[in-house]
Chain A
């Protein structure tokens, strides 16, 4: 490691000033520091630790029914939240399976999103739950839909001087259920071979809203409108789910790597998407019951 300058920010303003001056933020370090140790990347010369900034912490249920996550909310905190489990279930599913106990304790949602891996766990759930990310720089604050945050593997649309301060999820429509699941070769310490997120609303037995996003199937996590269209207006039965799975497979552009060939990923995408949609639907029906 070749870090030359290390500071610890105690306020958001200090963190932003340091980032604007060229320092790289480090939260839990489970991507930044680990990446450098495995040789995938090198440590930045200048680092600002943001983990002590109180305003960037927290998982907060909002009065309007939405949810606010501080950038530093850890996977462990998110997975332990009863409100996230109940109303933003896909996110709870995702945070609960990140890495190991230690990864979840130190790793943050902000680091997960800004690391911009197409295989990241929390990205898909936040996309289908309609979340927006809040970015701050010395010149102001702006919001961006989480799905517009990534421009490629490891790349975000955030400017070099922008700090992610938090993520907001709007109140889900009545009768919404959501789910995230990944194809994995073992249960823990795993990276998604393929992951699927679904959020659906059901009213009077009819699917009124559907969002489906795929993880590790293209350069960035993205929604599959063709799959969503097959679900909306349907009864959410097996024919509609199969059609959605087929649409997902058709729209995917996977890579071949040591974890799976492109053909295998495409075939499994349909299966995993189908299971995520089915789980989301059954959760939505429980909400209706």
Chain B
């Protein structure tokens, strides 16, 4: 039986009807219709689905969507200000943090949480902070440089 709920994604409330077992990633991609967050592994290994729940990172593929009701959900679509990219997004583009782009939404969301927690991390702290996000293209170097380039600037 479907359950009626409201999910607040990037500041907008979406009424949704969900099977109780639906994961947050499916709810946001297929029901809300925001497809920026990706599904890589579907079991908390890769971080492609990373979202924020009240500012804290969550592997949305493995989180019950109904548990997110009442929280502010942030996806990659919520990072830019209209058409103006967030500094972190611009840095990913400038410094080679993006190749195929599949990991990028999750990387950006994790990096946003990392910098909110620790605005001026060391390189080591960036690498540890992003260890739940896998990238098979960049070798991580461009990603780490991009995060460090905006660190300490806020």
**A residues at B contact (CB < 8 Å):** 1-6, 8, 26, 29-30, 33-34, 37-38, 43, 47, 49, 51-52, 76, 99-103, 105-106, 187-189
B57 & A29 in contact (Cβ 8 Å cutoff): no
B64 & A6 in contact (Cβ 8 Å cutoff): yes
B131 & A8 in contact (Cβ 8 Å cutoff): no
Given the known inter-chain contacts A3-B20, A5-B20, A30-B62, please indicate yes or no for A38 contacting B43, CB distance below 8 A. Answer: yes
6 tightest CB-CB pairs across the interface, nearest first? A100-B132, A1-B21, A188-B131, A6-B20, A3-B21, A105-B56
Interface flag for B100 (CB, 8 Å): no
Give, as a whole number of angstroms, the nearest-CB distance from A4 to chain B: 7
B61 & A76 in contact (Cβ 8 Å cutoff): no
Interface size class of chain B, counting residues whose CB lies under 8 Å from the partner chain: 35 or more
A99 & B132 in contact (Cβ 8 Å cutoff): yes
Give, as a whole number of angstroms, the nearest-CB distance from B111 to chain A: 10
CB-defined contacts of A5 to chain B, threshold 8 Å: 20
B64 & A188 in contact (Cβ 8 Å cutoff): no
Interface flag for B12 (CB, 8 Å): no
B59 & A102 in contact (Cβ 8 Å cutoff): yes
Beta-carbon contacts under 8 Å, B57-97 to A? 57-59, 61-64, 66-67, 69-70
Interface flag for B19 (CB, 8 Å): yes
Give, as a whole number of angstroms, the nearest-CB distance from B151 to chain A: 15
Interface flag for B9 (CB, 8 Å): no
**Chain A, residue nearest B124 (CB):** A187
Query: Once bound together, how far apart are the Cα atoms of A30 and B130, in whole Å?
Result: 18
Question: Given A100-B131, A102-B58, A103-B44, 8 more contacts at CB 8 Å?
Answer: A5-B20, A37-B42, A101-B113, A102-B110, A102-B132, A105-B57, A106-B58, A187-B131
B63 & A33 in contact (Cβ 8 Å cutoff): yes
Given the known inter-chain contacts A8-B66, A47-B20, A101-B129, please indicate yes or no for A37 contacting B44, CB distance below 8 A. Answer: yes
A-B contact pairs, 13 of them (CB 8 A): A1-B21, A1-B22, A26-B64, A34-B59, A49-B64, A49-B66, A52-B70, A100-B47, A101-B129, A102-B47, A106-B58, A188-B128, A189-B131
CB-defined contacts of A100 to chain B, threshold 8 Å: 47, 57, 131-133
Contact with A along B17-57 (1 / 0, CB 8 A): 00111110000000000000000001111010010010011
A6 & B66 in contact (Cβ 8 Å cutoff): yes
- Which residue of the partner chain, among B129, B130, B132, contacts A103 with CB atoms under 8 Å? B132
Interface flag for B143 (CB, 8 Å): no
- Which residue of the partner chain, among B42, B50, B132, contacts A188 with CB atoms under 8 Å? B132
Interface flag for B147 (CB, 8 Å): no
